């Protein structure tokens, strides 16, 4: 992937652009520090396994994503710090390496000695013949930079883990108040551009050790961010090509009513359908209204095998689709996803409102971030089924709107849900 393309992508995908400069800087530095920790963690988790970390396919798969996240924050911070000047931190790093390797001082001599004069000359020649900046790729940088690696294999992997952690801490120093900068001198006070260049080198080195293409890392990071942040049209409805009678209705008005203080049921076109539900919990929490999540899934994901079975729109004309997408396993997957999301929402609400009864705690309010780790988990749970193609932002919309409805039903005890699949929306209306 061309570096200028990735830089343009960073400019488009910076969700912190409207924040005050000091807040943006702190977020970028903390985000970069966090992602560096994820890289080190991915390596550490596999170190003691048979074959070691370098031979771990699990570590390799995890690192492809984590290295991309490090790159995003590094480029975002570079864009912020050096706005209006040259922000190509990879070019700057190559220039620094050329100065180091070619310098006639004691450090330069020692580096050439460790590399060998032949490798040092090979690096300097390759650096001098890099493609022009406008066409240069991450792969070009990765290949040339790795020529300056002074160790190899597991030793280099250990070096990268140690140095990346140190570099993250050096970045954090730039967020400290003046008194701490004066009194806390354990960390080297380095320029941010130098730190970012060193981070880029060690990211490229880790990728090289795992035979991971840095071009592929950058491309996957672009795709991940597009998948995560609203852009382009929503995923086409999964049953568009099916007979109309086997499609989820594009417009529905579904009532959820309380038949007693603790029991609710759904009604469509005036008729009850599905089971009557209770909270089934020691402490009432309103879970009897969780069917709103299935309605939100239908609206935003075009997917709800639970709802499809209840309103009898299973795709029986295609035996395989009926079995895989509309069968019992798919329904269990959806119920599991709904439960996982609810557990996380309830856990966080309990921490935020410990003195409030469970049924009165607000779950995933507008000002609360839905963790990306949760979006990744529910997306992964859907693997092998239709919603695995839905984007993260569609999952987030389903969760967000589902819990808006959930809160309204806990307050009003009953109501009508207007489900519009074409508009990808759900709306609460009181029952008159």
% of the chain exceeding 70 in pLDDT: 98
CA 81-196-27 angle, to 5 degrees, is: 55
Predicted confidence (pLDDT) at residue 181 exceeds the cutoff of 90? no
More confident residue, 424 or 269: 424
What is the tens place of the pLDDT at every residue in 271-313? Answer: 999 899 999 999 999 999 999 999 999 999 999 999 999 999 9
- In which band, very low, low, confident or very high, does the pLDDT at 45 lie, cut at 50, 70 and 90? confident
Q: Output the six-digit token pair for 55.
A: 């031979």
Q: Minimal CA–CA distance to 428: which of 408, 400, 411?
A: 408
Answer for the pair 126, 107: CB distance below 8 angstroms, yes or no. no
Taking CA atoms, 126 is separated from 90, 102, 148, 195, in Å, by 15, 13, 11, 23
Asked if 171 and 136 touch (Cβ cutoff 8 Å), the reply is no
Q: Which of 188, 194, 183 is nearest to 173 (CA)?
A: 188
Q: Which of helix, strand or coil describes residue 255?
A: strand
Q: Which has the closest alpha carbon to 311: 246, 256, 398?
A: 246
CA–CA distance, 173 with 312 (Å, rounded to integer): 60
Provide the pLDDT for residue 86: 63
Going by C-alpha positions, the residue among 13, 11, 7 that lies closest to residue 224 is 13
Q: Is the pLDDT of residue 84 over 60?
A: no
Give the model confidence (pLDDT) of 354-365 as tens digits.
Answer: 999 999 999 999
Residue 414 near residue 256 (C-beta atoms within 8 A): yes
Average of per-residue pLDDT across 175-201: 88
Please calculate the CA angle 277-282-287 and round it to the nearest 5 degrees: 35
Task: Give dist(CA 161, CA 163) in Å, integer.
Answer: 6
- Rounded distance, CA 221 to CA 383, Å? 20
Average pLDDT over residues 240-268: 95
Residue 149 pLDDT: 96
pLDDT in tens, 94-152: 999 999 999 999 999 999 999 999 999 999 999 999 999 999 999 999 999 999 999 99
Cα 276 to chain centroid distance, Å, stands at 37
- Residue 253, pLDDT > 90, answer yes
Please state the domain extents for the chain. Answer: 3-228, 244-429
pLDDT digits (tens, 9 = 90+) for 54-77: 888 888 999 999 999 999 999 999
The arithmetic mean of pLDDT across residues 248-254, rounded, is 97
Q: What is the pLDDT of residue 81?
A: 85
Residue 432 has pLDDT above 80, yes or no: no
Whether the CA torsion 140, 142, 146, 148 is positive or negative: it is positive
Question: pLDDT tens-digit profile of 318-338?
Answer: 999 999 999 999 999 999 999
- Return the half-sphere exposure (C-beta side, CA atoms, 13 A cut-off) of residue 41: 9
Burial 418-428 (b: 16+ CB within 10 A, else e): bbebeebebeb
In the numeric block, the tokens 């032949």 are attached to: 118
* Residue of 262, 392, 243 lying closest to 316 (CA atoms): 243
Among 167, 154, 158, 153, smallest CA distance to 198 is for: 167
Whether residue 83 is predicted with pLDDT greater than 70 in this model: the reply is no
Give me the mean pLDDT over the 380-404 stretch.
96
- Per-residue pLDDT band at 185 (split at 50, 70, 90): confident
Query: How far is the C-alpha of 267 from the C-alpha of 256, rounded, in Å?
Result: 6
Classified as helix, coil or strand, 129 is coil
Looking at 183-187, 245-249, 306-310, 373-377, which range is the least confident one?
183-187
Question: What tokens appear for 393 in the block?
Answer: 């932002």
- DSSP states of 172-240: HGGGS-HHHHHH--SS----HHHHHHHHHHHHHHHHHHTT--HHHHHHHHHHHHHHHS--SSPPPPTTT
* pLDDT, mean of residues 171-181: 88
Task: Provide the token pair at 13.
Answer: 């995908």
Confidence grade of residue 85 (pLDDT, cut at 50, 70, 90): low
User: Please, which residues bridge with residue 420 across strands?
Assistant: 251, 425
H/E segment holding residue 97:
helix 89-102
Other CB atoms within 10 A of residue 268 CB: 16
What's the burial of 406, exposed, middle or buried (CB within 10 Å: 0-12/13-18/19+)? buried
């Amino acid at each position: 992937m061309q570096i200028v393309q990735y830089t343009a992508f960073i400019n488009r995908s910076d969700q912190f652009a409207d924040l005050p400069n000091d807040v943006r800087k702190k977020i970028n530095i903390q985000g970069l520090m966090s992602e560096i920790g994820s890289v080190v963690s991915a390596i550490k988790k596999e170190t003691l396994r048979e074959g070691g970390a370098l031979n771990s396919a699990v570590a390799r798969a995890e690192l492809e994503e984590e290295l991309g996240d490090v790159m995003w924050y590094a480029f975002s911070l570079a864009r912020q710090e050096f706005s209006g000047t040259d922000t190509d931190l990879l070019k700057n790093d190559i220039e620094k390496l050329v100065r180091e390797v070619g310098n006639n001082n004691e450090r330069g001599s020692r580096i050439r000695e460790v590399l060998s004069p032949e490798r040092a000359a090979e690096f300097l020649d390759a650096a001098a013949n890099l493609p022009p900046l406008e066409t240069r790729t991450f792969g070009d940088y990765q290949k040339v930079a790795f020529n300056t690696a002074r160790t190899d294999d597991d030793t280099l992997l250990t070096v990268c883990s140690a140095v990346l952690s140190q570099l993250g801490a050096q970045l954090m120093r730039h967020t400290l108040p003046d008194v701490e900068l004066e009194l806390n001198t354990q960390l080297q006070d380095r320029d941010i551009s130098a730190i970012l260049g060193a981070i880029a080198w060690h990211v490229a080195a880790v990728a090289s050790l795992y035979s991971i293409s840095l071009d592929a890392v950058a491309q996957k990071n672009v795709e991940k961010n597009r998948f995560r942040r609203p852009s382009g049209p929503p995923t086409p409805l999964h049953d568009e090509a099916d007979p109309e009678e086997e499609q989820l209705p594009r417009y529905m008005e579904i009532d959820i009513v309380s038949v007693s203080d603790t029991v609710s049921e759904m009604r469509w076109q005036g008729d009850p359908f599905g089971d009557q539900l209770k909270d089934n919990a020691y402490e009432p929490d309103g879970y009897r209204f969780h069917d709103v999540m299935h309605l939100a899934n239908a609206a935003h994901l075009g997917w709800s095998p639970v709802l499809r079975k209840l309103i009898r729109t299973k795709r029986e004309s295609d035996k395989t689709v009926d079995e895989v997408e509309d069968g019992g396993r798919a329904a269990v997957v959806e119920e599991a996803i709904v439960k996982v999301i609810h557990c996380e929402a309830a856990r966080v609400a309990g921490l935020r409102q410990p003195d409030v009864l469970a049924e009165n705690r607000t779950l995933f309010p507008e000002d609360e971030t839905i963790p990306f780790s949760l979006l990744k988990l529910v997306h992964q749970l859907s693997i092998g089924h239709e919603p695995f193609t839905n984007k993260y932002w569609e999952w987030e919309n389903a969760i967000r709107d589902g819990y808006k409805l959930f809160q309204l039903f806990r307050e009003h005890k009953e109501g009508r849900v207007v489900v519009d699949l074409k508009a990808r929306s759900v709306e609460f209306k009181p029952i008159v």
